Chain A
């Protein structure tokens, strides 16, 4: 009797296991999700937000690991040497993957990256402290015009999304500001809160994280961010600025078309989850749904714009 029960239980267990295997047909175990930066940045946070939803939908863990170096270049240069069996994926960031290889040989080319999904972006935002004399964007522009160079603005890195935003903004407004590069958004925000600089080129995520301590003067979106209904877009104020840092995920280029398709579908499904979208919006992100099929057109458009901006700014030849 007992033996039969055990046998039955064993059979049931085997059945359940095989069903589970069918459900995630091509994933053979936990997935190594490499972030080519240190922890705590926007890339890390958005990967962390994906983790529980991915586990729930596909039964496998996304194991995040960090491989910082060379502003992401070290990770991207190593990506295509990794196994393309679908068990390893890596975060990619725009404009980094366009600007870096255009500046110098960093061991990879933009076209080499097998990007299968761009799932969000952090819109550029001009941020000041809550007690800043700049109440509106025009206050800052007027000050920067009256005192050229005296308005110091922190941001993350050089030839980065923040830096490109500053260059573009100066050109559009005719004002002259001074860009002070910091190591990562956290350090740039610290400098702003400590009043080392007068403003910060950041993202909507900074507004979400800092709450009442800061004021966003404008955001670079087509429409206002749902989290900040009172913050105008640059467009509303007469400056045609829409953009920010875009983030997606890539596979090694040895991955088969089926594997790429599977991953594109899986991340699309996570991105389609209402609860996930809400968590992303609450953290200040803006969602993007560019899957593998649309990637080439999307990348071509972004690449053209970044290279044009960077060339005009003298960041690349």
Chain B
């Protein structure tokens, strides 16, 4: 880990790769349905002719860019461009509706760069010890982590708890359709071949979030987003000021993102949700989360970009990929003849460190590239007339859904879910609890089945589920998340009563 590796990473060729990768990744990530995984899979053969470090820098830059790009569609169209940006919609879209879309895009960029840097520095400095986090998490911990994630439904759906829970339960049922991930049973397909593949997360996201937005756009005559008379350029100064004021939030969310990123099987969407729930829990009275609170966007965007560095920790140290894009990078390394795993930092240290510096450089380049692309994305979404915007976005949702696995039935399912989502939204059921259930359901189920199998085999079921320290910690956090809002609400009414007297 010396300066030489930094210089190797900073050759003009590698700098060009990093810049190209970040820009390409941002554009890919901003289109719902096109994922970082897909972009990397297509590009891997190109990297065979490069030296391993350059190849890795290109792949890492695309990955980083894609996680940031996911925020555009989340903020401007209420549709997460990648699953990691789900929680970005909570405050991003309300901000855009108020006319602050430009500010939200700039905030997302600052937060993403901050998260990406903290994640990358954790990878640079602390990878071997942090990789132990991945191993400390057993099936039971994943079970409780997903329960913690589900508890967020309670705090998301203030005043609408039953509907939120019903949505979450519905999402969990959706997640069980098709071939069960670990038991290989075929469930709830009603004999239909189409349903064997189940409800994919990306297709469901596009359907539940994007289609209702499109229907509403057509149904009401108003403009899509409120715009002040003159379309300002991206409000960089203002965004920077807000980001500086939220230093603590940014750092905490980045650390959460790094830690969740280390867990194979959790990923950017869970990281964003956990960070969001934490920042919301510490909300000050004037902050209104869910109605366009800048801190909400910053928490999610810093956390999901921190998962890039975090995810590479188990990938490089243990040879266990944290996320699908990590798995592709791992495969690319193998072809290059680089052995990942316990000995990699010693044997292939120069490649690893050049890559990490490359990742840091790419993250810094995301600042100018992201702000510039963000400005164009914002301008084009607010200035394009509705008659062009709706068909264009509608076309993209279909292409994006089809691209996931070249399946027309995925497109049909997506459209049906979209109409369903629009209808139930009229009755106060939001999309987010359903999607939460869909993402967290399988994690909870697998953890529960595995934990139960191991606990029953060793005659220690209670100890398995309640006796492990990390589990106890997560259970405690879950209880706090569930109980605190009730407690706070009660105290507030008491205060109001006292003031009234």
Contacts and interface: CB of A to CB of B under 8 A. Distances in A.
Contacts of A40: 321, 324, 326-328, 330-331
Given A71-B179, A73-B179, A77-B193, A157 B331 contact: no
B290 to A, nearest CB: 33
A99 to B, nearest CB: 8
A231 interface: no
Interface in A170-197: 178, 180-183, 186-187, 189-191, 193-197
A62 B46 CA distance: 11
B137 interface: yes
Interface string A198-214: 00000000000111110
A135 interface: no
Contacts of A3: none
B383 interface: no
Interface residues of A, number: 62
Name, among A44, A157, A194, A279, the residue most crowded by chain B CB atoms within 10 Å (CB to CB): A194
B45 interface: yes
Nearest to B200: A69
A180 B183 CA distance: 10
B450 A180 contact: yes
A182 B48 contact: no
Given A212-B342, A212-B343, A157 B37 contact: no
Interface string B112-133: 0000000000000000000000
Contact of A157 (B38, B184, B265): B184
Interface in A15-72: 38-41, 44-45, 48-49, 51-52, 55, 61-71
A41 B326 CA distance: 12
A196 B454 contact: yes
Nearest to A41: B327
A160 B181 CA distance: 12
B41 A209 contact: no
- Of the four ranges (under 10, 10 to 19, 20 to 34, 35 or more), the interface on chain B belongs to 35 or more
Contacts of A69: 178-179, 196-198, 200, 405
Interface string B212-247: 000000000000000000000000000000000000
A187 B186 contact: no
Contacts of A132: none
Nearest to A96: B184
A49 B454 contact: no
A61 B45 contact: yes
B157 interface: no
Name, among B136, B328, B457, the residue most crowded by chain A CB atoms within 10 Å (CB to CB): B457
B405 A74 contact: yes
A136 interface: no
Contacts of B335: 48-49, 51-52, 279
Contacts of B405: 66-69, 74-75
Given A39-B324, A74-B197, A194-B135, A158 B182 contact: yes
Nearest to B182: A181
A78 B407 contact: yes
Contacts of B331: 39-40, 44-45, 48
Name, among B42, B136, B197, B449, the residue most crowded by chain A CB atoms within 10 Å (CB to CB): B197
Given A106-B186, A196-B454, A70 B178 contact: yes
Nearest to A283: B334
A66 B179 CA distance: 17
Interface string B294-315: 0000000000000000000010
A203 B230 CA distance: 63
A48 B319 contact: no
Interface in B321-343: 321, 324, 326-328, 330-332, 334-335, 337, 339-343
B134 interface: yes
Contact of A178 (B314, B319, B330, B453): B453
Contact of B339 (A78, A105, A107, A211): A211
Contacts of A149: 457
A152 interface: yes
B327 A191 contact: no
Nearest to B404: A67
B41 A106 contact: no
Interface string B464-494: 0000000000000000000000000000000
Contacts, number: 173
B318 interface: yes
Contacts of B264: 186-187, 190
A150 B458 contact: yes
Contact of B45 (A41, A51, A180): A51
Interface in B265-288: 265
B320 interface: yes
A187 B314 CA distance: 12
A196 B139 contact: yes
B17 interface: no
Contacts of B340: 209
B99 interface: no
Contact of B454 (A52, A180, A193): A180
B342 A211 contact: yes
A66 B45 contact: no
B343 A211 contact: yes
Name, among A55, A197, A279, the residue most crowded by chain B CB atoms within 10 Å (CB to CB): A197
Given A70-B178, A279-B337, A158 B453 contact: no
B346 to A, nearest CB: 11
A194 B262 CA distance: 14
B180 to A, nearest CB: 8
B41 A65 contact: yes
Nearest to B139: A196
A104 interface: yes
A276 to B, nearest CB: 11
A71 B45 contact: no
B406 interface: yes
Nearest to B265: A187
A103 B181 CA distance: 15
A193 B41 contact: no
A73 B196 contact: yes
Contacts of B450: 180-182, 191, 196
B350 interface: no
Contact of B138 (A159, A196, A209): A196
A150 B342 CA distance: 29
B406 to A, nearest CB: 7
Given A70-B179, A70-B198, A158-B182, A197 B44 contact: no
Given A106-B179, A183-B265, 12 more contacts: A40-B326, A45-B334, A48-B332, A52-B48, A69-B197, A77-B196, A78-B406, A150-B457, A158-B184, A183-B182, A212-B343, A283-B334
8 contacts: A40-B321, A48-B335, A63-B42, A69-B405, A150-B458, A190-B318, A196-B450, A283-B334
Interface of A: 38-41, 44-45, 48-49, 51-52, 55, 61-71, 73-75, 77-78, 100, 103-107, 149-150, 152, 157-160, 178, 180-183, 186-187, 189-191, 193-197, 209-213, 279, 283
Nearest 5 A/B pairs, CB to CB: A40-B327, A194-B135, A69-B197, A70-B179, A178-B457
